[in-house]
Chain A
């Protein structure tokens, strides 16, 4: 039995010196770098309304899929996680598989959007976006791919507008908000959301980011940047790191009313699985989701625990339910190398069988 610490003082000083040297040299690189661009896969604007835009992506070849796929992202953070960088773009990968991809970009809400409700978002904006894509293709129903909060929206939408959806795919989507490992849900349970929204109006993006950082304070606020010191001399890796930083912190504020409703009904009330959720005065009955459903979640997700997503299987009315567990986290499911190999091909394969 020995002491567990066998740190040579000279080596420790050497480590500090190395750290200092890397930092000093790399800081020059960091300061000289421009803000990295996203992948910017070619796309056309096909619809806009208020701050919302619907983009139609263009692949190298014509889509082989007969039914278009509309991606519904969350209101938090920007949609460009789906098209982050050229070699890590879910959108680009789906195009290469043969999918015909549309994307809703919700934009950056401001004071004029303070009173937008979930009804406005789901039965208003989202419904009109679906109609636009349906009309462009002359179809009664299209495929939806909902991501995170956008998955909860898509699920609710499918229950409310069953005729307009052919197949539903959800990624890292919370359904049961009261699983014991859901830290965000746990924290907001005793919050007076009415007081919060009445006081704040729209919820600032900075405050949202603060909350996300405090989920893993040391790892996300310190250890991550220590790891960055090792890549300061690698322009490509540094650019990738900064691109991710841009995406994380360049995020939209949340429309106050929609935020109030989402926290109260989803996080606090867990009404989606209780069957008591109403949007625009209409009951969201998950039993009406009789469409084919592919539910993809991340096994190491610290924002949406896997059990929160898995719960969907018990509540939807479909007999064609497929579940895919991805070995990775909430972000890695879009941008990791493994994700590029596994997720878009799995989506395409599943859709092809139901096209």
Chain B
């Protein structure tokens, strides 16, 4: 039997979804679509209005989907059991908590997560998951022994990383579940006339409070701390193995590797420190040296002034005294040199001009 109210909601939903999808597509067309390449992560796009739009969209989409689902599934139903009604409103694909977390991945950590995901995709496309090593190490031998062992190590590390991520995700889901329980508790305090929740927005805001409270409690637990640390460490291990393989490829191709460039940077910084240390770290020694030289110079001057002045030999003495004076001057010239600085005075460019953007 036809239900005009529900039919209307469904029609409206379809219409609204179409308009949403239309400008979401429009936005996506402006974004460069990265190719799946395990060894290359496009540089993070600088902040721009389109970046803001993308981030905004990710956040709004979850809310929009939820409102539609809630209006159709919960708000339209006759309120016999409000807890069941609540489950209908917050369950299913429009679950806003998952949307909120999904949205983060598409924003800030884009470069990081994209590289990870693309690497996983590449591994799956090439049947990497079936390689020996994903289920435990297998002895390798022959000319390609080292490469086989490395591949096995990488496959095993990926599996471990996936397990660690799954453990973390399970905790996120637990936070979501406990958030719903907190929401029910909060709603139970709104049963008096005049205190009832009468809009989707008010319900959403109450849910946000509940979800964040539950998440914070779990995020501060020892279990979460262990899972979080383990997830990060396992991901880094995969990346490290991946980098090692890339380095080997670079070496074979004669391309300077990341570690070689990094090593140069390390030596350069060490040299700069040594240079500064030689220039400024022992000023007291220089001061002492200068003071001593000054005393000696004064004594010499005094001695010279107070001594009788015989005619011919005096000229000789002066001639021999000259080099000493030069030596003293040189010693003074070695006095502390202020570290190379650029003390300048110029008007400012607009604040926050990110040099990366000028590239």
Contact = CB atoms under 8 A, between A and B. Distances in A.
Interface stretch (B142-150, B195-203, B282-290, B315-323): B195-203
A198 B232 CA distance: 13
A12 B200 contact: yes
A82 to B, nearest CB: 10
A3 B83 CA distance: 9
Contacts of A27: 23, 53
Interface extent on A, as a size class? 35 or more
Contact of B219 (A124, A187, A210, A223): A187
Given A195-B233, A245-B52, A4 B188 contact: yes
Interface stretch (B119-127, B129-137, B343-351): B343-351
A20 B16 contact: yes
Interface extent on B, as a size class? 35 or more
B71 A47 contact: no
B53 A30 contact: yes
Nearest to A38: B351
A234 interface: no
A183 B198 contact: no
A5 B82 contact: yes
A31 B19 contact: no
Interface string B39-76: 00000101111011101101110111001101100111
Given A44-B346, A198-B240, A201-B258, A120 B100 contact: no
B9 A190 contact: no
B304 interface: no
Contact of A206 (B70, B109, B233): B109
A79 to B, nearest CB: 8
Contacts of B201: 15
Contacts of A242: 49, 52
A210 to B, nearest CB: 3
A42 interface: yes
A24 B187 contact: no
A80 B44 contact: no
A329 to B, nearest CB: 14
B96 A195 contact: no
A47 B236 contact: no
Contacts of B199: 7, 11-12, 15
B19 A47 contact: no
B93 to A, nearest CB: 16
Nearest to B23: A27
B208 interface: yes
Contacts of A43: 348
B79 A44 contact: no
Given A15-B67, A199-B243, A40 B230 contact: no
Contacts of B344: 45-48
Contacts of A183: 216, 219-220
Contacts of A49: 341-342
A238 to B, nearest CB: 11
Contact of A222 (B62, B68, B74, B270): B62
B341 A132 contact: yes
B96 A222 contact: yes
A283 interface: no
A187 B228 contact: yes
A112 B265 contact: yes
B75 A9 contact: yes
B112 to A, nearest CB: 5
B167 interface: no
B348 A42 contact: yes
B262 interface: yes
Contact of A204 (B112, B197, B216, B346): B112
A214 to B, nearest CB: 6
B97 to A, nearest CB: 7
Contacts of A209: 107-109
B160 interface: no
Interface in A226-246: 226, 228-229, 242, 245-246
B71 A13 contact: yes
A133 to B, nearest CB: 11
Contact of B230 (A2, A42, A190, A245): A190
B109 A80 contact: no
Nearest to B357: A250
A224 interface: yes
B356 interface: yes
B301 interface: no
A55 interface: yes
Contact of A186 (B97, B220, B345): B220
A20 B22 CA distance: 13
B77 to A, nearest CB: 9
B207 to A, nearest CB: 8
A206 B112 contact: yes
A181 interface: yes
A249 B55 CA distance: 11
A218 interface: yes
A147 B240 CA distance: 34
B109 to A, nearest CB: 3
Contacts of B112: 204, 206-207, 210
Nearest to B15: A20
A27 B236 CA distance: 39
Interface in A43-60: 43-49, 51, 55
A206 B111 contact: yes
Nearest to A15: B200
B82 A3 contact: yes
A228 B236 CA distance: 36
B70 to A, nearest CB: 7
Given A186-B219, A225-B60, 20 more contacts: A4-B187, A12-B200, A16-B16, A44-B346, A49-B342, A80-B351, A80-B352, A186-B220, A188-B229, A189-B229, A192-B233, A205-B44, A206-B44, A206-B112, A216-B215, A217-B104, A217-B212, A218-B215, A225-B56, A250-B46
Interface of B: 5, 9, 12, 16, 19-20, 23, 44, 46-49, 51-53, 55-56, 58-60, 62-64, 67-68, 70-71, 74-76, 79, 82, 85-86, 96-97, 99-101, 103-104, 107-112, 187-193, 195-201, 203-205, 208, 211-212, 215-216, 219-220, 224-226, 228-230, 232-233, 236-237, 239-240, 243, 258, 261-262, 265-266, 268-270, 273, 276, 339, 341-348, 350-352, 354-356
Leading 5 A-B pairs by shortest Cβ distance: A190-B229, A210-B109, A225-B59, A209-B108, A4-B190
